[in-house]
A and B are shown apart, each in its own frame.
Chain A
Amino acid sequence: MIVARDDTLVIRNPDDVVRVRQEVRARAVAAGFGLVDQTKIVTAASELARNTLDYGGGGKARIEVVQNGARKGLRLTFEDQGPGIPDVELALKDGYTTGGGLGLGLSGARRLSNEFQIHSVVGEGTRVTIARWK
């Protein structure tokens, strides 16, 4: 797999979440994603960026444009050094929230992506990687 482009953005405030969305949208358009795929990956990015900010206390978003043979795609990695998630299984349940949200962000992001990996260690932080192919 070839990485054609690789950018990292910081997530420190709500404006940064907006910037992550805009950047992901721009990359998706450039990669030739259709409207539906664009909307799905941007929305997933929005969810994960906001979790990074709200629960992880801020962190980074890495946006990679990848190519696997003839397939183009986007791979996004959200990383924080926050408290971590004690029960990832539970956090991925629809409706589970500790922050008064809808509890649909994490599970929704998984449904909106073709690939989804989460790695979280209590006291160390959380890293979520998703990919969506054209």
Chain B
Amino acid sequence: MATILSSILEAHDGEVLAQWLVALKASGGTGGGRIKEGELQTQCRHFLDALRQALATAKNSDGNIQGAAFEDVRELLADVSRSRAAQGFSPTETASFVFSLKQPLFERLRQELGGDTARIVDESWQATQVLDQLGLYTTEIHQKSREDIVARQQAEIAELSTPVVKLWHGILALPLIGTLDSARTQVVMENLLQSIVDQGAEIAIIDITGVPTVDTLVAQHLLKTIAAARLMGADCIVSGIRPQIAQTMVHLGVELNVVSKASLADAFALALQRTGRTVVRSKLAGTLAART
């Protein structure tokens, strides 16, 4: 296809690279210096190599970058795009990796083709087509990577914010924090039930201090969890129902039918008592406290 381009890249690679690097930095393609000079040069050199080979081997002249000839170029760009997305580059900063190559390339074309204006226009058009597609391809991969990052973080948050904590032998606590949308609540419920089985727990304390809204959906999830826990042989205590939530639940007509305590501490004290334990202040600590 555009063999003139591949021969330019062959004969003047050093020059094109140098000018490209200048253009790249000027157009903000380094993300404000977030990328190291050496790394940038390597990426650019590899890209020019791959592009030259792709242009030399591509058969058709419609500048389609989806073909086999461009496989290496696409792979390389995908790597560049993914690493920039992870480094927090914007889509524009990422795409300028490709777009900033236009200026040095067109410059070279003009010099090579001298006064043959018709050919300059023709070759520039073909080069533009290829580079535009490659630029769009980087944005596409960039967006995809950002979506992957967000999805991964969401999954991590879902896992992170549903820890089942062992308070004592046979006593578990589940401090719920945040919005209980259905996907996460499913994870919460399964985690708790699994822990009850694994640890042979007798009592599970569900603390809802960190849940901003208790509506009928949240209530239903709680009821189901409580019922399932009961089937596994564990009793639930719900703690952290703030006064305004309690009032609202009454208006909604929701009844949890479990023991509830104002705080996690109160619930823990009850759980200890129910499992035949008492907490006493040691005599020694008592006298020490009395003296100070």
Binding site for B on A (CB under 8 A): 14-15, 18, 21, 25, 35-36, 38-40, 42-43, 46-47, 50, 94, 101-102, 104-105, 107-108, 111-112
Contacts and interface: CB of A to CB of B under 8 A. Distances in A.
Contacts of B194: none
Nearest to A105: B216
A40 B251 contact: yes
A112 B182 contact: no
A109 B98 CA distance: 55
Nearest to A50: B217
B86 to A, nearest CB: 24
Interface in B170-221: 179, 181-182, 212-217, 219-220
B252 A43 contact: yes
Contacts of A43: 213-215, 248, 252
B11 to A, nearest CB: 55
B244 A39 contact: yes
A18 B218 CA distance: 13
B244 A101 contact: no
Contact of A108 (B223, B243, B247, B251): B251
Contact of A112 (B181, B220, B245, B248): B248
Main secondary structure of the interface of B (DSSP, over half): helix
Nearest to B218: A46
A67 B93 CA distance: 48
A130 B95 CA distance: 49
A104 B182 contact: no
A102 B244 contact: no
A108 B213 contact: no
B251 A14 contact: no
A102 B213 contact: no
B247 A111 contact: no
B114 interface: no
Given A39-B247, A39-B248, A108-B251, A18 B216 contact: no
Nearest to B253: A104
Given A35-B244, A107-B253, A21 B220 contact: no
Contacts of A111: 251-253
Contact of A104 (B181, B245, B254): B254
A104 B213 contact: no
A102 B216 contact: yes
4 smallest beta-carbon distances between A and B, as pairs: A108-B252, A39-B244, A46-B215, A111-B251
28 contacts: A18-B181, A38-B244, A39-B213, A39-B244, A40-B244, A40-B248, A40-B251, A43-B213, A43-B215, A43-B248, A43-B252, A46-B215, A47-B215, A47-B216, A47-B252, A94-B253, A101-B216, A102-B220, A102-B254, A104-B216, A104-B219, A104-B252, A104-B253, A105-B215, A108-B252, A108-B253, A108-B254, A112-B252
A16 to B, nearest CB: 11
